[in-house]
A and B are shown apart, each in its own frame.
Chain A
Amino acid sequence: AQSVTQLDSQVPVFEEAPVELRCNYSSSVSVYLFWYVQYPNQGLQLLLKYLSGSTLVKGINGFEAEFNKSQTSFHLRKPSVHISDTAEYFCAVSDQTGANNLFFGTGTRLTVIP
């Protein structure tokens, strides 16, 4: 079975500072990895995904993530955050069985301070 751990439930950061949101996963099989963002009172939307190939993945809004197989991590980074990045961020892992289920971490609330 797959599982996802997001180590930080809340991350406050000043505007224009860099940020890293941490995600670790566990799985006995190959997985696909995703980061989603949820703005207040909205559904989730995809930031980026890792399927294979280059371990550095670039997404929307200036975010990027690095897949590290040896450390089973998929941390999300942005070099300079904006007020509009304030949201909840979810890491997710997809198994490759017939069910194609998507398992989520508990989320990290990013608050950008002016």
Chain B
Amino acid sequence: NAGVTQTPKFRVLKTGQSMTLLCAQDMNHEYMYWYRQDPGMGLRLIHYSVGEGTTAKGEVPDGYNVSRLKKQNFLLGLESAAPSQTSVYFCASRLNSYTEAFFGQGTRLTVV
């Protein structure tokens, strides 16, 4: 099993460009999450999904959109990238609230 796979691993964007980060999990998990990690701030929840076709806002959703058209995939979109979105992005999935979350290896995004 691959677990949680994120693509791409690295990306450099110019301000105003758009991109989509892909997260795929092969564990049949219902819940999927997108976090961003910034120095000294831990992981902050951007958006999450409780099942196929559902999405909801987390703590820091502004500037991002998500879609969950298939149960195994959770896409994070940046419509118009800003330097403040320079961060490391992590996708995670879990079965329910008392099981562990499995994380991808992260995507390092730099917006110049």
Contact between B45 and A103, CB atoms less than 8 A apart = yes
Q: Is B62 an interface residue (CB 8 A)?
A: no
**Which residue of chain A lies nearest to B59 when distances are taken between CB atoms in the complex?**
A103
Of the residues A45, A94, A105, contact of B98 by C-beta under 8 Å: A94
Residue of B nearest to A42 (CB): B105
Q: Name the residue of chain B whose CB is nearest to the CB of A9.
A: B40
In the bound assembly, the distance between CA atoms of A43 and B106 in angstroms comes to 6
Verify B42–A106 contact, CB threshold 8 A: yes
Contact with B along A37-75 (1 / 0, CB 8 A): 000011111100101000000000000000000000000
In the complex, how many angstroms separate the beta carbon of B18 from the nearest chain A beta carbon?
Answer: 25
Which chain A residues lie closer than 8 Å to B40 at the CB level? Answer: 9, 106
Query: Considering the chains assembled together, what is the distance between the CA atoms of A107 and B90 in angstroms?
Result: 15
Which residue in B4, B42, B48, B106 is a CB contact (below 8 Å) of A101? B48
A82-114 vs B: 1/0 string, CB under 8 Å? 000000001000111011111111110000000
Is B74 among interface residues, defined by CB-CB distance under 8 A? no
A32 interface residue (CB < 8 Å to B):
yes
Query: What are the residues of chain A within 8 A of B56 when measuring CB–CB?
Result: 99
A interface vs B, CB < 8 Å? 6, 9, 32, 34, 41-46, 49, 51, 90, 94-96, 98-107
16 contacts between A and B (CB under 8 A): A6-B42, A34-B100, A42-B105, A43-B103, A43-B105, A44-B103, A90-B43, A96-B97, A99-B50, A100-B50, A101-B33, A102-B94, A103-B45, A104-B35, A104-B44, A106-B40
Binding site for A on B (CB under 8 A): 4, 31, 33, 35, 40-45, 48, 50, 56, 58, 90, 92, 94, 96-98, 100-101, 103-106
